[in-house]
Homo-oligomer: A and B are copies of this chain.
Amino acid sequence: MKPPTTTASGEDSLIARYFRPIASDPGAFGLTDDAAILKSMSDDIVVTTDALVEGVHFLPDDPPDTVAQKALRVNLSDLAAKGATPAGFVLTLALRAADDAWLADFARGLGADAGRFACPLLGGDTVSTPGPLMASITAFGRITPGKMIHRSGAHAGDRVVVTGTIGDAALGLDILRGGGVAAIFEGDAAASLTLVQRYRVPEPRTALAQVLRDHAHAAMDVSDGLAGDLVKLCAASGVSAVIDVPAVPLSQPAARALSAGAVSLEALMSGGDDYEILCAIPDEGFEAFAQAAAAAGVTVSCIGAMIAATSPPQFLDAQGRNLPLGRLSFSHF
């Protein structure tokens, strides 16, 4: 009733060839068992799961190593926002066929990032699908019991802070899709590549986890657009916010695309895929936070303040006028 196979099945040899070499953690048992062991060391285990679907979260011709990196990094981004230290991950890969060249590149990217972020591959499952490729990762972090940073801890008066720059990934996606942004960067391949790379390989703020544990009242990663994710953080915390839109940090290419009229502020602030961290920092602790972040090598920008209100966050332009945002974020359904 099922296709015949020989003793060493294709699935097993696929795992052995591509994933066993990067599953060096003792808890992975060389991917030869039915389960892995995560040593708890009495910490709380922070668990997060995020999946990438071909054509939705990455493009069919994105390089396979970047697909693997993105699949892991979007999960590392969640762990960082929660203040957790990476501990390991499992991968479910749904494939149409076992394409050796694709898998070799995918595993290379995955192994490099597992090493770089000290987050070992512990196990996984490979399944066949007639549909789009899908990589689903569940990642684990460790944290002192009770110390996970929630979305819900922001207080009125806290500063609203974001890491890095916002909107680059949305511009990168537009370029890859042949949108209007590409024309702005004709003859400037470096800028174009920077934006594309921000879409394909986000930079998880793992280095900021300890700093957030020490200073943040609330945090989340910006995956579905800054504006929409701020709405979620405010709702969870029972506060509102006033955002000084000109203070939202833009990269040099993003500022250029904006001033050329190739993209709206709205698109930058709702575009998604930034994988920066949005957090609420108590006003009196902001200087110490900013110094610790700088020491960790992460740029942070104060973009507004939390206020005591139940109304939606306000986004103010340079003249203090309310900037209505028609759309706030990306949603699957």
Contacts and interface: CB of A to CB of B under 8 A. Distances in A.
Interface of A: 1-7, 9-12, 14, 29, 32-51, 53, 55-57, 78-79, 81-82, 84, 88, 90-92, 94-95, 97-98, 122-132, 134, 136, 138, 140-141, 145, 148, 150-152, 170, 173-174, 177, 179, 220-221, 224, 228, 231-232, 236, 267, 270-272, 312, 326-333
Given A35-B148, A90-B47, A170-B1, A55 B134 contact: no
Nearest to A10: B333
Contacts of A331: 3, 5, 9-12
Nearest to A138: B138
A81 B224 CA distance: 39
B9 A127 contact: no
18 contacts: A1-B267, A3-B330, A9-B224, A10-B333, A32-B151, A34-B82, A38-B45, A39-B45, A40-B40, A49-B92, A51-B94, A51-B136, A53-B94, A55-B130, A90-B138, A94-B134, A125-B136, A129-B134
Contact of A35 (B34, B79, B179, B236): B79
Enumerate the 7 nearest inter-chain pairs by beta-carbon distance, A residue then B residue, closest first: A131-B131, A40-B40, A9-B331, A10-B333, A4-B327, A138-B138, A35-B48
